[in-house]
Amino acid sequence: MSRSFDVVVIGGGPAGYIAAIRAAQHGLTAACIDEWKNRDGKNAFGGTCLNAGCIPSKALLESTELYHRAQHEFKKHGIQTGDVAMDVTTMQKRRASIVRQLTGGIAGLFKANKVEGLVGHGKLLAGKKVEFTPVSGDVEIIDAKHVVLASGSSPINLGIAPFDGDKIIDSWDALELEAVPPRLGVVGAGVIGLELGSVWARLGSKVTILEAMDDFLFMADRDVAKVAAQDFKKQGLDIKLGAKVAKGTAGKKSVKVEYADKDGAQTIEVDKLIVAVGRRPHTDNLFADDAGIQLDERGFIVVDDECRTRVKGVYAVGDCVRGPMLAHKGSEEGVMAADLIAGEIAEMNYDVIPSVLYTSPEIAWTGKTEAEVKASGRPYKTGSFPFMASGRAKAMEQTSGMVKIISSKDDDEILGVHIVGPMAGELIAEAVLALEFSASTEDLQRTIHAHPSLAEAVHEAALAVDKRALNFPNK
């Protein structure tokens, strides 16, 4: 007799494993199928995020930031260390150990919540049956009352500079390099290009980033992008804008990269080339032709606002559906899908998803940019506060950047918050909550913030919106 579950989730990344746990918390029987295999040949739950994305990149960003600060800041505090050196092997062992602990933790979470973790390939068949091909053993057809597709995404492979796993590499390879490449090229000044470019630049690589767009960080508020561009330049990241890559050719020792910019055809030679030009939804062999699932023209699974596919009882969440490719967006969609399956009311507020770049300084925002508000035609006011005027930031020796708030002139509603500076990724949480509750600027102004704290910069930026900043001259 075939096994049956109330909910079968295909994909064990942050969208899928969270959906399975939430379903089980509703008292539903739930299974989560995942086929991820790490470079050591071992299977692991957690998907891209835990194995080859968010977590390992943040581990390396932390190690290299500490190294950088030890070299450049310790002296200012009076700390004498002599020469500081980085042992890349130890750094990489720490990264791998954090990944192992967190991915291993999912097995514990599954056990505690009574989720059946199934290692192997899952494929949706017609009639909500799921074909499960285990790593070892026989193919099994599982009956599901509900199915959640959470198959994630994979890096875009540029035909003009195809991955070879050695010299022309994707973000996963770039996270696991065992030696510092003297010259590192990156195609794409997006989130991955800037985070991984920062990691290897701090360790001594001469990093050149080629970005096709003329505007730096085109998705961010212009004031924030301007500060960030200046800081990255100071850090030695050579970001070439308007650079259209024509070809990347791997030779025996190096990679030749040909590109064109406003001055014509250019060539650079690097030891490794990371191609980070975005990711595409991964739906290979995920569903049978007659399963009823529809893909859009970009390959994403078509879903409505509640992540329902065209097939009743089948949902899709995370990177394989429209919207930003972010772990927290996928997890919240997983929660919503499980809640809807359990018969509860649930919804996602897609307008208030935080974006964070874990560079130095960090960059974080939520809501609309000033350009977006301007284009909407709604009258608005803005205020900003520089970390230079923050006592806590000074004590931390991290005074670059600012908080900027955009609010409506008509009813004082906060429309967007943009931060570049220390701990921006943590500070943005207050702004997300404010926007979630449709808070006014005055709400933030009258909220008591601890002193001295970086969060005071958010408070002062809110005051600055009405030209009432207390610790910085109002413009």
Active site members: 451
The binder of 12, among ligand FAD, ligand NAD, none, by C-beta within 5 to 8 A per type, is ligand FAD
DSSP code string of 251-291: -SS-EEEEEEETTEEEEEEESEEEE-S-EEE--TT-B-GGG
Cβ count within 10 A of residue 165: 9
Nearest to 32 by CA among 97, 96, 109, 138: 109
Indicate whether 52 belongs to the interface with ligand NAD (CB under 6 A).
no
Please say whether the beta carbons of 433 and 444 come within 8 A. Answer: no
**Contact residues for ligand FAD (CB under 6 A)?**
10-16, 33-36, 47-49, 53-54, 57, 121-123, 150-153, 171, 192, 282, 286, 318-319, 325-328, 330, 358
The binder of 272, among ligand NAD, ligand FAD, none, by C-beta within 5 to 8 A per type, is none
CA 244 to chain centroid: 24
Alpha-carbon distance of 47 to 16, in angstroms, equals 9
Indicate whether 292 belongs to the interface with ligand NAD (CB under 6 A).
no
Among 195, 339, 362, 460, binds ligand NAD (CB under 6 A): 195
Closest approach of Cβ 409 to ligand FAD, in Å? 33
With tokens 């806590």, the residue in question is 392
The binder of 197, among ligand NAD, ligand FAD, none, by C-beta within 5 to 8 A per type, is none
Q: Which residue is nearest to ligand NAD (CB)?
A: 190
Strands (E), 305-351: 314-316
Compute how many residues bind ligand NAD; rule: CB under 6 A. 23
Distances (CA, A) of 148 to 9, 17, 103: 5, 10, 20
Q: Residue 89 carries which side chain, given as an amino acid letter?
A: T
Closest approach of Cβ 249 to ligand NAD, in Å? 15
Alpha-carbon distance of 435 to 405, in angstroms, equals 11
The binder of 402, among ligand FAD, ligand NAD, none, by C-beta within 5 to 8 A per type, is none
Task: For ligand FAD, give the closer residue by CB, 211 or 319.
Answer: 319
Task: For ligand NAD, give the closer residue by CB, 131 or 332.
Answer: 332
Task: For ligand NAD, give the closer residue by CB, 148 or 245.
Answer: 245
- Tell whether the torsion through CA atoms of 289, 294, 299 and 305 is positive or negative: negative
Indicate whether 150 belongs to the interface with ligand NAD (CB under 6 A).
no
- Find the angle CA(198)-CA(215)-CA(329) to the nearest 5 degrees: 65
Indicate whether 356 belongs to the interface with ligand NAD (CB under 6 A).
yes
Q: Is 232 helix (H, G, I), strand (E, B) or coil?
A: helix
Number of H helices, E strands in the chain: 14, 21
Closest approach of Cβ 62 to ligand FAD, in Å? 12
Helices marked H in 203-251 = 222-234
Q: Is 133 helix (H, G, I), strand (E, B) or coil?
A: strand
Cβ count within 10 A of residue 42: 10
Closest approach of Cβ 94 to ligand FAD, in Å? 17
Task: For ligand NAD, give the closer residue by CB, 239 or 415.
Answer: 239
Alpha-carbon distance of 414 to 435, in angstroms, equals 6
Closest approach of Cβ 155 to ligand NAD, in Å? 7
Closest approach of Cβ 385 to ligand FAD, in Å? 26
The binder of 211, among ligand FAD, ligand NAD, none, by C-beta within 5 to 8 A per type, is ligand NAD
Closest approach of Cβ 9 to ligand FAD, in Å? 9
The binder of 459, among ligand NAD, ligand FAD, none, by C-beta within 5 to 8 A per type, is none
Indicate whether 33 belongs to the interface with ligand NAD (CB under 6 A).
no
**Choices 34-42, 96-104, 352-360, 370-378; region in contact with ligand NAD by CB under 6 A:** 352-360
Closest approach of Cβ 423 to ligand NAD, in Å? 14
Among 115, 277, 420, 424, binds ligand NAD (CB under 6 A): 277
Distances (CA, A) of 326 to 38, 53, 448: 21, 10, 31
Residues 240-259 within binding reach of ligand NAD (CB under 6 A)? 245
Task: For ligand FAD, give the closer residue by CB, 133 or 453.
Answer: 133
3-state helix, strand, coil in the chain (%, to 5): 35, 25, 40
Residues within the interface to ligand NAD (CB under 6 A): 187-193, 195, 210-213, 245, 276-279, 324-326, 356-358
